[in-house]
Amino acid sequence: MLDDRTFAIKGDICWSKSRTEFASVHDGYLVCLDGISKGVFAELPERYAGIKVIDQSGRLVIPGMTDIHIHAPQYAFRGLGMNLELLDWLNTHTFPEESKYRDAAYADKAYEIFSDDLLHSPTTRAVVFGTMHVGATEALMDKLERSGLKTYVGKVSMDRNSPDYLCEGSAEEALADVERWLDDCEAKHYVNTRPILTPRFTPTCSDALMAGLGRIREERGVPLQSHLSENLSEIDWVHELCPWSSCYGQTYERFGHLSGDGACVMAHCNYSTDEEVSILREHGVFVAHCPQSNAQLSSGIAPVRRYLDLGMNVGLGTDVAGGATLSMFRAAADAVAVSKLRWRVVDQSLAPLSTEEAFWLATVGGGSFFGRVGSFDEGYELDALVLDDSHIRTPLDLGVDDRVARYVYLAEEGGRIVEKYVAGKRAL
């Protein structure tokens, strides 16, 4: 029985052959059966004769992109408050804004805009921070569920070193809210949306809260996301708060937050020590590289080349509103740019990223957090973007690879997402 997730898309198709190389077929066929890719072909194979063909001739067809670190409530003030470093930025701009999500009407309005804009962005999957409020986080999950995008969404946990207006009363209260939220999520039977435990970062989470989240993580098998080694003042603060730790990563590892092989995302890792890197590797932790946020908040530049050379799990995050834009094309372009500055100014032993590598990070690298996602190779869940690049004008007669490379840098200059598929389902 053929379902609506069975079709072929005809167009100029490009995906990652390897971490460093594009594969592409001009005027080819991408075949999807039951939401799963059967591969890309120059001619439609006989065995698929009669399949519905979606004719997108002349348009680019690429894998959907996965944003593995983004703050939904911060979308409201994107592009504002860019003149401070992390800890002052949190106190001055972020915490006051997040406190507004106590109000269901505000949350509804703000998350409607966020969900709609995310749907129209290059992102097909995302790993998302909410706020500490259960009601608002569930409203966000309801909206994302309806969008058809696949997401992990976290109710933030924070019970210390935060202003009274955005701080949970005690670890017990905070953990009870997490349990209630997880029960609600189960009862809602979401298809696209999953909960993810979200201690904001070590400075705002007491040992009791961290221990409780570790317990819940083990009991319920829920993944976990947080921030790690983003900013130098933050790292100093963690050493003061946790004098028993020899690296920041230990302050999560000690409570079982990193275990579960690949079930954890840590954002930034700009200053991870050798010890911290070995802890991240041991647990298969996903590093969310957030180049724009790292630049805007003057945080630093993550040594992504090192993580890739070590075979670690790495993807890209927009980290809105540390980063201003939802665009994963921009995140990929920024990843290349900051890697070049790092190479030139900081450390010539780490070669810069290529465009192909940044594309891989945005698709396969982050997609892997969701399983076999981010490629058109056979067996991958089929997330795809159909792109119109005809308004990014040039007299050059470009091949498919070059058109995609150029789209990464020029998406906002005349690029248009025509259609979007998530696990073979049309979302846009």
Which does residue 33 bind out of Fe ion, ligand GUN, none, counting CB within 5 to 8 angstroms by kind? none
Among 54, 60, 90, 107, binds ligand GUN (CB under 6 A): 90
From the list 44, 63, 156, 12, the residue with the least C-alpha distance to 370 is: 63
| Partner residues linked to 286 by β-bridges | 265, 313
CB of 61 to ligand GUN, least distance (A): 33
Sign (positive or negative) of CA dihedral 326, 329, 332, 337 = negative
List binders of ligand GUN among 173-232 (CB under 6 A).
Answer: 200-201, 227, 230
CB of 310 to Fe ion, least distance (A): 23
CB of 221 to ligand GUN, least distance (A): 25
List binders of Fe ion among 266-305 (CB under 5 A).
Answer: 267
Cα-atom radius of gyration of the chain, to the nearest Å?
21
Extended strands (E) in 186-258: 193-195, 198-199, 224-228
CB of 190 to ligand GUN, least distance (A): 24
CB of 177 to Fe ion, least distance (A): 21
What is the size of the binding site for Fe ion (CB under 5 A)? 2
Q: At what angle do helices 171-188 and 134-147 cross, to 10 degrees?
A: 30
Closer to ligand GUN by Cβ: residue 86 or 427: 86
Closer to ligand GUN by Cβ: residue 200 or 403: 200
Closer to ligand GUN by Cβ: residue 84 or 418: 84
Amino acid, res. 328? M
For the chain, the three-class secondary structure string (H helix, E strand, C coil) is CCCCCCEEEEEEEEEEEECCEEEEEEEEEEEEECCEEEEEECCCCHHHCCCCEEEEEEEEEEECEEEEEEEHHHHHHCCCCCCCCHHHHHHHHHHHHHHHHHCHHHHHHHHHHHHHHHHCCCEEEEEEECCCCHHHHHHHHHHHHHHCCEEEEECEECCCCCCHHHCCCCHHHHHHHHHHHHHHHHHHCCCCEEECEEECCHHHCCHHHHHHHHHHHHHHCCCEEEEECCCHHHHHHHHHHCCCCCCCCHHHHCCCCCCCCCCEEEEECCCCCHHHHHHHHHCCCEEEECHHHHHHCCCCCCCHHHHHHCCCEEEECCCECCECCCCHHHHHHHHHHHHHHHHHHHCCCCCCCCHHHHHHHHHHHHHHHHCCECCCCCCCECCEEEEECCCCCCCCCCCHHHHHHHHHHHCCCCCEEEEEEECCEECC
Asked if 291 interacts with ligand GUN (CB under 6 A), we say no
Which does residue 201 bind out of Fe ion, ligand GUN, none, counting CB within 5 to 8 angstroms by kind? ligand GUN
Which does residue 200 bind out of Fe ion, ligand GUN, none, counting CB within 5 to 8 angstroms by kind? ligand GUN
List binders of Fe ion among 143-182 (CB under 5 A).
Answer: none
Asked if 100 interacts with ligand GUN (CB under 6 A), we say no
Contact 216, 222 (CB under 8 A): yes
Only segment of 86-94, 272-280, 327-335, 339-347 that touches ligand GUN (CB under 6 A): 86-94
Asked if 319 interacts with ligand GUN (CB under 6 A), we say yes
Among 148, 212, 322, 366, binds ligand GUN (CB under 6 A): 322
Among 145, 159, 234, 319, binds Fe ion (CB under 5 A): 319
List binders of ligand GUN among 235-274 (CB under 6 A).
Answer: none
Closer to ligand GUN by Cβ: residue 8 or 238: 238
Closer to ligand GUN by Cβ: residue 286 or 407: 286
Contact 69, 302 (CB under 8 A): no
Closer to Fe ion by Cβ: residue 67 or 319: 319
Asked if 97 interacts with ligand GUN (CB under 6 A), we say no
Closer to Fe ion by Cβ: residue 322 or 352: 322
Which does residue 94 bind out of Fe ion, ligand GUN, none, counting CB within 5 to 8 angstroms by kind? ligand GUN
Closer to Fe ion by Cβ: residue 268 or 425: 268
Only segment of 151-159, 313-321, 337-345, 370-378 that touches Fe ion (CB under 5 A): 313-321
CB of 268 to ligand GUN, least distance (A): 7
List binders of Fe ion among 218-277 (CB under 5 A).
Answer: 267
Closer to Fe ion by Cβ: residue 15 or 114: 114
Amino acid, res. 264? C
Q: What is the binding site for Fe ion (CB under 5 A)?
A: 267, 319
Binding footprint of ligand GUN on the chain (CB under 6 A): 71, 86, 90, 94, 200-201, 227, 230, 293, 319, 322
